[in-house]
Amino acid sequence: MSGENDAKKRRQKHIGPRSKKPIWVSVTEDERKAIQDTARQVRLPVSALLRKLALGYKPPSKIDLETLYAVGRLRGDFGRLGGLLKLWLVDAPGQAIPESEVRAALDAILTKQGELSSLILAIEKATGD
């Protein structure tokens, strides 16, 4: 009985949603390398990438991800700068620079930090993360 089940499983191996029917596409060596590089960047096998692209998938851009990380670091820098200004306001208010100018700069930083947060959310939404 076990032998019959094994034979049946072998026969049904190519039945299902992906029965592994290849589609051959001719490409130049440069195109092949570019496709392989893209697949590596989006962490997909070449066949999975090509299948997804042919079916309308848009992989996240590496540039978008790098931009997201840069904006995130910038947002952190704004946060640290705002923290330093707050500390200065507590420890040395009104010395060298009028407190009103420092508070205006702090408000501008907080506004820009909020804008960066919105931008980060928009980029994350666009990249699908």
- Choose the final residue of a domain: 12, 43, 59: 59
Identify whether 6 is part of a domain: no
Q: What is the pLDDT along the chain (129 residues), one digit of tens a residue?
A: 555 655 555 555 555 566 678 888 899 999 999 999 988 888 889 988 898 888 887 766 666 667 777 877 888 887 888 777 777 777 776 666 777 877 787 788 888 888 888 877 877 777 665
> Is the same domain home to 89 and 118?
yes
CA nearest neighbour of 59 among 48, 69, 72: 48
Question: Do 89 and 66 share a structural domain?
Answer: yes
Residue 1 falls inside a structural domain: no
Question: What are the b/e assignments for 102-119, b being 16+ CB within 10 Å?
Answer: beeebeebeeebeebeeb
Question: Is there a domain that residue 19 lies in?
Answer: no
User: Do 54 and 110 sit in the same domain of this protein?
Assistant: no
Q: How many domains does the chain have?
A: 2
With respect to residue 39, please indicate whether it lies within any of the assigned structural domains.
Answer: yes
Cα angle 74, 80, 83 (rounded to 5 degrees) comes to 145
Single out the residue of 119, 127, 78, 85 nearest to residue 102, CA to CA.
85
73 plus 108 within the same structural domain: yes
Cα–Cα distance, 75 to 121 (Å, whole number):
12
Structure tokens at 99: 């407190």
pLDDT at 36: 93
Q: Do the domain assignments include residue 16?
A: no
> Is residue 93 in some structural domain?
yes
DSSP 22: -
Give the domain extent around 28.
Answer: 24-59
